[in-house]
A and B are shown apart, each in its own frame.
Chain A
Amino acid sequence: MTRPVPLPVAEGPYPPTEEMLSAPVPPEERERGTAELRAAWKTPQGWRYFSAVNNTEVGIWYALTAFGFMLLAGLLALAMRVQLAFPGMTFLDADRFNQFFTMHGSAMMFLFAVPMFEAISILLLPAFLGARDMPFPRLSAYGYWCFLIGGCFVMGSLLFDAGPKAGWFMYPPLATEEEGVGPDIWLLGLSFIEVASIAAAVELIVGALKCRPPGMRINIMPLYAWYVMVVGAMILFAFPPLIAGDFLFELQRSFNWPFFDPERGGDPILWQHLFWIFGHPEVYIVFLPSIAIAAMIVPTVARRPIVGYSWIVLSAVGTGFLSFGLWVHHMFTTGLPQISLGFFSAASEAVVIPTGIQLFAFIATLMVGRVRMTLPMLWIAGALAIFVAGGLTGVMLAIVPFNWAAHDSYFIVAHLHYTLFGGMVFPLIAGVYYFYPFFAKKLLSERLGRWAFWLIFTGFNVTFLPMHLTGLMGMPRRVFNYPESAGWGTLNLISSIGAFVVAAGFAVFVYDLLRPKSRQGQIPRNPWGAGTLEFSHDVPEEAWGVRSVPYITSRYPLWDQPEVVERMDAGRYYLQDAPDLQRETIVTSVIDAKPIYVQRVTGPAWITILAALFTGGAFIFPTFHIYKPAIVCGAFAIACVLYWLWTSTARPQEADMREAGLGLRLPRFASGPDAVGWWAMWITMLGDATAFASIVFGFFFYWTARPDFPPADAEHAIGVWVAATALLGVLAWAATLLAREVNRRGKVMLARGALVLAPLSAAAAAGAAWLAVRDLDPVSHVYPAILWALMVWLVVHLGAGIIMQCYCLAGSLFAKVTPRHDADLRNVTLYWHFVALKAVVTAAVLGLVPGWLP
C-alpha cells in the first residue's frame, strides 16, 4: 500500500503587508460574512439558553455562581462574628460554629477563589487574545455544571446540619474519626469540584498557548495570559496531591484502610503534607490572577505601557515555582527536624522577592504615567495597601520562633485575611468595575462604587486590625466562646461591628452589580481608553468574539496600531466569514503565533449538562455509601463524554483547506503537537502523573516516618504477577504505539490488529496487578493498604486506557480515524506513554523496593 498523502500545511502570504491590510473588503462580501458569523455564533434563545457553551455565557454563569457562594460564605462569617461579639454568647452552639468555620474556609477557597479565577479567565482570556472562543467550549460548560452541582451539594449539607466540622484542612484523626457524613461530603464533593478546576486549567493553558491571534508572539502577549499559564501550571501540580490525599482519606473512611491511623502503621502527618503541598500554592493560585487583573488596569490608568514587562513575567514564573517550597510553614509545630523547618522558613522569605517586584513594577508604572484616579484604580490602591500589610505579617510568620508563638491564634486569622482581601478580593472587585463595560455593555455607578469601596475598606480594617492584637493576647482560633476574664471582649466587639460594615459595603456592591441599567443607554466602546484587545469588543453586543481575527505586532495594539479596530470591524483580517455556518477559531504556533490551522469549535449542547449530572451522581452517591447507582452514573458519564467527543471533535472535514482571509489558506485539521487536543492531553497527564507521584511519595514517607514500615513479618506482593503487570502494561503501550505508526503509513488493517491486541494486553495487566496484591489484607496495616492503593490507581488508569484504545479502534472502523486524520490515535498514544510509565513504577514499588529498604 502506498503511503497516504500527508495533511496540507498553510499556503499563501504571511505575514500580511500593509498594502494587503489596507485593501478594502467589498461591501457585499462583508455583509455575507457578518450574516454567516451571526448565524454560526447565535446564542440559543428561550429555555435553550442553558445549552449555551460560549465563553461569554459560561463565564458569566460561572462568575455569578462563584460570587453567590462567596456571599453565602460571607454570611457564615457574619454569624460567627455575632457569636464572638461578646463573651459567653449563645447565638451558635459549638457544633454549628464548627460547621460554619469549616464551611466558610472551604467555600471561600474551593467555591469562590479558584472557580472565580477560572470564571474570569474563561470570560476574558479569548477577548485578550482576539480569539473567538476557548479551544474546548464544551469542556468549560461541563466544568461549570460540575461546579454548580458540587457546590450546591457541599453548601447544602449545612441545611441538614450535616456539614463537615473538622476545619477546612480536615486534619486526621479528628476528621477521619468524625461521626456522620460531613467529611465524606467535603472529600467527595470537593474532589468533584477539583476535577472541574483541573478541566478549566487545561482549557486555559491551551487557550493561552495556541489561540493567540497571528503575530502575537510570546514577548508581546498580554500579561494576563502569562499569569494564566503560570496559574494553570500551578493548579496542575498543586491540586493532584490533594486529590491523591482525598483518595487515601476516603479509602480510610469508607473501607477502613489505615493510611492515617497510627495504631496500624499509618501517619496523620502524611495528610498534612499532601494537603499543604496543595494548600500553600493555592494561596498564590488565587493571588496571581488577581494581580494579573491589576497588571491590566495599571497601564490603562497610568496611560502608558507597563514598566518592566519582563520583570513581571519573572515575578509570575518565580512566584509560581517558589510557592511550592513553602508548604511546611503550615506545619512548623508538628515536630519536624529543625533543619527542615529552616529550609521552609528560608523559602517563605525568598518568595517575598518576586512578589515585591510585581508591586514595585506597578508603582513604577503609576509614577511615570499620568494617573487618573478612576474607580478601578481606587480599588487597586486599596488592594496594594492591604496586601502590603498582610505581606509584612507573612514575613513575621515565616520566622519559626514567632510562628510557634502566634500559631493557631487570631494573629493568623488577621494575616490570612489581609493577604486574601488585599491579594484577591480587592483586585477582583477592581476587575469587575474595569471589565463590566466589556461583558455587560454597561457602566457601574461611580458614586455607589466609592461608597462600596470606603465601606469595605474601612470595615475590613476595623474587623481585622484588632485581630492582630487579640491573637498576640492569646485568643485561639476555631473556638466558639471565651470567658469575660480573658479580656478580649472589647476588641472582639470592634471586629464584629467591622464585619457588618464590610457586609454593608458588599450589599452596595451587589445592588450596583445587579440593578437594572436599561436607562443608562449605550456606553462608549473603550470607556477607559485601554490599549489591549478586549476593548475592541462590539457595542452593542455580538456573540462572535471578534469580527475578524487581527494581526498583532504590539503589546498594546489599540494604542500602537491605530487602525486595528477599524480593520477588525471591516473584516480585513482573518476568518471574516463562516461559509459552513460553523463556529471556528484560528490556532497558532506556541512561540511566534503563526497561523497553523482553523479549529472547528463545538456549539451549544445538552450533553454537557447530562455528563455533569451523571458525574455528580458518581461522586455524590458514595458519600452515603451507596455504590451501585454510583457505578451506573459513572458509566453513563463516560458514555456522555464519549458521545460528545465522537460526534464533534477531530472529525475529518469535507474540504482540507479553508480560505482564512488575506490570501492565506489554512488546513482544517491538525494532528499531534500542532493540534489543541494533543496539548490538552499532555497537560492533563502532567497533573495526573503528579497525583500518582504523590501516592508513591506516601509509600516513601511511611518508610521515613515509621520504624515498622514494612513490618518485619509482612507478606509482600507476588513477584510473578508484579513482573507480569509491568510486561503486559508495556506491551499494551507498544501495541498502541505500533498502531499509531502503521496507521500513519497507511497499513490500516495492521493498525486495527494492534488496537485489538492493546486493550487485551491492558486488561491482562490490570488482572495481573490485582492478582499480585489479592492475598494481602489492606485493613490490617498501612503497608498492604498502600500497595492496594497503588494497584487501584493503576487499574483505573489501565481501564481508561482500554476505553481510549477501543475508541480509536471504533474510529478506525467507522472512518473517524484515518491514516491522514489520526489526531485521536496520537492523543491516546500520548496517554499511554504515561500509563506505561505508571505500570513500570508501580511494579517497581510493589515488587522491588520492599526488598531494597534498609
Chain B
Amino acid sequence: MTEINENEDARAFRSEAVSLWRITFGPLIWALHFTASYAATAVICAKGAPGAVDGLRLGIGVGTAVALIAIIWLGWQAWRQWDLVRDRDWENDQGTGEDRHQFLGHAAFLLAVISFIGVCYVALPALLIGSCQ
C-alpha cells in the first residue's frame, strides 16, 4: 500500500540520478571550460614563451569543440527525457512521477541551451584576440 521505501532518498536518487546529473552537467561544463580557459591564459601569458599564445588559442579551440559536443549530447538526452513531441506537455505541472521526470528533462534541456551559448561566448575572445597585450 505504501509507496515509501527504505532509504527513500538514496533510492530516489538512484532512479533520478541521471536526470540530476544532466541538470548540473550543462552549466558545469561551461564552468570547467571557463576556468580552464582562464587558468591556461593566465599561466601562458605569465610564464609562456612569446609564441605560446597561438598554442593557447588552438588549445582553447579544441577545448571549446569538446565542450560543445558534450553539451549537445546532454541536450539531446534531456530533450528525449522531456518528451515534448509525443505528449505536447509544455508545463509538466502535475504532481505525478512522470511529470516530475519530464520536468527535470525540460530544465536540463534549457540549461544545456544556455550553457551552449555561454561556451560560445567565452570562446569568442580567443578567436578574435591574438596576443596577451
Contacts and interface: CB of A to CB of B under 8 A. Distances in A.
A337 B41 contact: yes
Contacts of A11: 2
A664 interface: yes
B10 A340 contact: no
B111 A305 contact: no
A345 B4 contact: no
B97 interface: yes
A402 to B, nearest CB: 16
A313 interface: yes
Given A317-B27, A591-B12, A13 B124 contact: no
Nearest to B8: A589
Given A9-B5, A342-B128, A350 B110 contact: no
Contacts of B1: 12-14
Interface string B78-113: 000000000000011111010110011011001100
Contacts of A390: none
Interface residues of B, number: 57
A486 B123 CA distance: 43
B93 A220 contact: yes
Contacts of A325: 30-31, 34, 118, 122
B129 interface: yes
Contacts of A554: 93-95
Interface in B31-70: 31, 34, 37-38, 41-43, 45-47, 53, 56
B34 A347 contact: yes
Contacts of A339: 41, 45, 53, 56, 125-126, 129, 132
Given A12-B2, A321-B31, A342 B126 contact: yes
B122 A346 contact: yes
A219 B104 contact: yes
Contacts of B28: 321
Interface stretch (A517-525, A592-600, A763-771): A592-600
Given A310-B106, A591-B16, A350 B121 contact: yes
B88 to A, nearest CB: 15
Contacts of B18: none
Interface string B14-29: 0010000001000110
Nearest to A349: B121
Contacts of B128: 342
Nearest to A324: B31
B125 A343 contact: yes
Nearest to A704: B46
Contacts of B8: 9-10, 589, 594, 596, 674
A338 B133 contact: yes
Interface string A203-220: 000000000000111111
A595 B13 CA distance: 15
Contact of A219 (B5, B93, B125): B93
A217 B95 contact: yes
Contacts of B43: 704
Interface of B: 1-10, 12-13, 16, 23, 27-28, 30-31, 34, 37-38, 41-43, 45-47, 53, 56, 91-95, 97, 99-100, 103-104, 106-107, 110-111, 114-115, 117-118, 121-122, 124-126, 128-129, 131-133
Given A325-B30, A353-B114, 14 more contacts: A10-B2, A218-B100, A218-B104, A219-B93, A220-B93, A309-B93, A317-B23, A318-B110, A337-B41, A343-B37, A347-B121, A350-B121, A592-B97, A673-B10
Interface of A: 9-15, 215-220, 305, 309-311, 313-314, 317-318, 321-322, 324-325, 337-343, 345-347, 349-350, 353-354, 552-555, 589-592, 594-596, 664, 672-674, 704-705, 854
11 contacts: A9-B4, A9-B5, A9-B8, A14-B3, A15-B3, A218-B104, A337-B41, A337-B42, A349-B121, A596-B8, A672-B7
